[in-house]
Amino acid sequence: MTTKPRIDDTLRDRILSQPDVILDDHDLMRALVAASERAMGGNVIDLRGVAMDRLEARLDRLEDTHRSVIAAAYENLAGTNQVHRAILRMLDPVDFETFLRDLGGEVADILRVDVMRLVLETVQSDADPAVQRMGDVLSVAEPGFIDSYLSNGRSAPTRPVTLRQMEEGSEAIYGDAAGWIRSEACLRLDLGPGRLPGMLVMGAEDPHQFAPSHGTDLLSFFGGVFERAMRRWLS
């Protein structure tokens, strides 16, 4: 006759006093289930074990989804705080030139974009002195330029926010910085009745910062606030 090996008494007492330790250890539970299946023999199907495996796989998927949702929530909260800070900074200036200077400076820094440009359509051919002074941030274009730029010359309808990646930026928008721009966010601006449209452009060297698959809710909100600020300055 053979006798089964006896478990160490100290270990046995510890398991009996803390059975939850085994139940909470997935690797140990797998080993116990596998030992049980071997003891039953190869011609017996343990439906309970199969069900447990399926439930465990489903639990792993749910945990992965849970982690992804939490990460997305934190990222969205951080983006919301970022946009709110940029808006508060944008509303601080008491004159238009400071407003534009901050747009290309501290506001751009808060939003973590490399270049920010404001494009206004105008029928005047001569450049205004204010435009010349703020040439690093503000530029003027002929009527129809913005729709053409946003649609890439096609007749497709333009959206309030356009996100896209590119090999390089437009020199008409970015000037000397055009060569290293790899992605951009374009916010079409409605400046009020009787006025030609405007466009706020955010350019980034990172090709993944703005992509068509990204959400646009926060940028749409920022664009709406910017529109209202511009209407106040243009009134």
Q: Full-prediction pTM beyond 0.85?
A: no
Cβ atoms within 10 A of the Cβ of 25, count? 12
In this prediction, residue 110 carries a pLDDT of 92
pLDDT given for residue 188 in this prediction: 93
Q: What pLDDT is recorded for position 165? A: 92
Rounded Cα distance between 55 and 96, Å, is 62
Query: Is it the case that residue 168 has pLDDT exceeding 70?
Result: yes
* 65-85 residue pLDDT tens: 777 777 666 677 777 888 999
Q: What are phi and psi of 174, to 5 degrees?
A: -100, -10
Q: What pLDDT does 1 receive?
A: 46
**CA 88 to CA 202: how far, in whole Å?**
18
How many other CB atoms are found less than 10 A from the CB of residue 190? 15
Q: Which residue has the tokens 């808006």?
A: 87
CATH numeric code, 94-234: 3.30.450.40
Going by the DSSP 8-state scheme, the letter that residue 201 receives in this structure is E
Beta strands at 198-204 and 138-141: parallel, antiparallel or unpaired: unpaired
**Which residue, 186, 162, 166, 188, is CA-closest to 178?**
166
Predicted confidence band of residue 192 (pLDDT cuts 50, 70, 90):
confident
The pLDDT of residue 14: 78
The answer on pLDDT for 58 being more than 70 is: yes
Strand 115-121 versus strand 138-141 pairing type: parallel
Answer yes or no: is pLDDT of 88 > 90: yes
User: Within a 10 A sphere around the Cβ of 1, how many other Cβ atoms?
Assistant: 2
